Amino acid sequence: MQIQPVLAALRRHRLATLLIVLEIALACAVLCNACFLIANRVQQVGMPSGVDEASLAGLKLTGYDPAQATDLNARVLDGLRTIPGMQSVSVINAVPFGQHAGTAGIKLSREAQKIVGVVDFYVGGPGSFEALGLRVVSGRGPQTSDMSAVADFLPRSAPVLVTRALATHLWPGADPLGHVIWCADRPYRVMGVLDHLARPSGGEGGPETREWSVFVPALPGEHLAGVYLLRAAPGQLDRVLRDARERIARIAPEVVVDIEQSQTLPQLRDRYFRDDRAMAGMLVGVIVALLLVTALGIVGLTSFWVAQRRKQIGVRRALGATRSDILHYFQTENFLIVSFGIVLGMVLAFGINLLLMTRYELPRLPVLYLPAGALVLWGLGQLAVLAPALRAAAVPPVVATRSV
């Protein structure tokens, strides 16, 4: 197929060509950015928590007298342990995707004025570290001798584990083991590094802060009570949690189960990411509608062109052009127009991304999205032009001899 005559013909339909180019360009720009937003959301929803979610549940009790906290812990641990299918019950202050309990700013020395980050402290009683199923990449996990009583929400001093993400933020390039983080004027020495551990309420401070967590071993007591980590055999988690809620009514009739926070981790994760899923769903809707509308526009204009050039097509057919020649002509024409649109659209896409980057703190659009978007639009264009082009190819040569 020669391109020269197609271009020459396009020059005679400047306005219509320009409109399709504009439409493709806009579609390309919106498409690339919307897909990028969706990818961001999907990545967030799939974020690893670092714990064995499928076998864990949280249980939160309220309405008890703080003076009775120690007694309550003992009753709950003893009472729930014997539920069939329960692997362990332990005291903890928060679970991933649940309510945050120990959020505080930390410093790197006692005298430092500057807070280097707001992090979440998981304060866990005996057995909780093992129950979570965390992976230690260097150093060691907590032992019984590491556990001390909690003062207000943290022990006065304790050896702790930090996530790799937090360690990289605090001591880039250095071995975190042995370093000390300070919360108010209390020191916490790092004894181990965790592969992953998501904060309870994710990362309010942006994606990179989502794993700024610290695990602190501690002894249950007045200030560490009321939230429990249940670990069950994976298939039995839902039933075990149901049994546990029922049994609480018997072993501690005076307390109230906070149903919202007493859920399995899969349920908590599901609720936590509802907004992101809703946003992604809406974006998918916009993209589908956008592609549909763009395709409709191409079908409409090409149909018009075909109708206008009926006689011209008849002449060409009479002069020996085959059906496939006519078909290819319209396909080539569409390919050229869409290509112009894509070039313009790429510029526009980067412009929009730049705007989003400054106003909504989005990352830069990866270059890969542009060829992908181009392929989609080329495909869409060819699909849209097919029906009108086939109709054009069906024009019989005899049209050329008829007067209109």
Partner 1 sequence: MFAYYLDLALRSLRRSPVLTSLMVLAIGLGIGASMTMLTVLHVMTRDPLPELSAQLYYPHLDPLPANYPSHNEWGDPSDNFTWPDAMALLKAHRADQQAAMAGGRVLAWPVQAGRMPFRVGGRYATAGFFELFGLRFEQGRGWTAADDEARARLVVLSHALAMKLFGRTDVVGRTVRLGDARFQVTGVTADWAPQPQFYADGSGRGNYGESDRFFLPLATALDLDLSVSGNQASWKEGGRTSGNYTWLQVWVRLKDAAQARAYRQFLVDYSASQQKLGRFERPPGNAALYPMMGWLAHQKLVPNDLRLQLWLALGFLVVCLVNIVALLLAKFLRRSGEVSVRRALGARRRDIFVQFGVEAALVGSLGGLLGVAIAQAGLWSVRQRPDSYAHVARMDLSMLALTVLLAIAGSLLAGMLPAWRASRVAPALQLKAQ
- The correct pick among 151, 282, 354, 387 for binding partner 1 (CB under 8 A) is 282
Per-residue mark of binding to partner 1, 188-227 (x: CB under 8 A): ----------------xx---x------------------
Is residue 37 involved in binding partner 1 (CB under 8 A)? yes
For partner 1, the closer of residues 3 and 256 by Cβ is 256
- The reply to whether 62 sits near partner 1 by the rule CB under 8 A is yes
Q: Using alpha carbons, list the distances in angstroms from residue 300 to 1, 143, 207, 377, 395.
A: 24, 73, 44, 17, 18
- Give whichever of 236 and 303 is closer to partner 1, judged by the CB atom: 303
Point out which span in 61-69, 91-99, 120-128, 172-180 binds partner 1 (CB under 8 A).
Answer: 61-69
**What order of strands is seen across the sheet that includes strand 56-62?**
86-91, 227-232, 56-62, 256-257
* Smallest distance, partner 1 to C-beta of residue 117, A: 10
Q: Closer to partner 1 at the Cβ: 1 or 282?
A: 282
For residue 352, the tally of other CB atoms under 10 A from its CB is 17
Q: Are 219 and 127 in contact (CB under 8 A)?
A: no
Distances (CA, A) of 255 to 72, 217, 239, 240, 389: 9, 26, 21, 19, 74
Nearer to partner 1, 26 or 219 (CB): 26
> Which stretch in 60-68, 82-90, 376-384, 389-397 sits in contact with partner 1 by CB under 8 A?
60-68
Which residues does residue 117 pair with via DSSP β-bridges, in sequence order? 106
- Is the Cβ of residue 199 or residue 317 nearer to partner 1 in the bound state? 199
CA distance 82 to 88: 9
Taking CB under 8 A as the criterion, the residue among 278, 354, 368, 375 binding partner 1 is: 278
For 172-215, give the DSSP string: TTS--TT-EEEETTEEEEEEEEES----TT--TT-GGGTT-EEE
Among 54, 177, 180, 356, binds partner 1 (CB under 8 A): 356
> Burial letters for 264-300: b for 16+ Cβ neighbours within 10 Å, e otherwise?
bbbbbbeebbeebeeebeebeeebeeebeebbebbbe
Cα 400 from Cα 314, distance rounded (Å): 5
What is the bridge-based pairing of β-strands 103-106 and 158-163?
A: unpaired
16 binds partner 1 (CB under 8 A): yes
Cβ closest to partner 1, residue 27 vs residue 191 = 27
From CA 307, how far away is CA 321, in angstroms rounded?
A: 18
Give the residue among 142, 188, 195 at the shortest CA–CA distance from 168. 195
Q: From residue 112 to residue 151, what is the string marking binding to partner 1 with x (rule CB under 8 A)?
A: -xxx--x---------------------------------
d(CA 125, CA 225): 9
Q: Where are the alpha helices (DSSP H) in 62-160?
A: 69-81, 128-132
Backbone angles phi, psi at 143, to 5 degrees: -120, 170
Listed in sequence order, the DSSP H helices in 55-122 are 69-81
Choices 76-84, 280-288, 317-325, 332-340 (CB under 8 A): range interacting with partner 1: 280-288
Place of tokens 């690339």: 32
| Touching partner 1, residues 300-319 (CB under 8 A) | 300-301, 303-304, 307-308
CB of residue 360 vs partner 1: minimum separation in angstroms? 5
Using the rule CB under 8 A, give the single segment among 49-57, 110-118, 213-221, 237-245 that binds partner 1: 110-118
Looking at the Cβ atoms of 300 and 396, the one nearer to partner 1 is: 300
Closest separation between CB of residue 355 and partner 1, Å?
Answer: 9
How large is the angle between the packed helices 323-360 and 310-318, nearest 10 degrees?
A: 140
Nearest CB to partner 1, comparing residues 174 and 387: 387
CB closer to partner 1, 232 vs 280: 280
286 binds partner 1 (CB under 8 A): yes
> Taking CB under 8 A as the rule, does residue 263 contact partner 1?
no
Which chain residues interact with partner 1 by CB under 8 A?
15-16, 19-20, 22-23, 26-27, 29-30, 34, 37, 62-63, 65, 105, 113-115, 118, 184, 204-205, 209, 256, 258, 271, 274-275, 278-279, 282-283, 286, 289-290, 293-294, 296-297, 300-301, 303-304, 307-308, 356, 360, 404
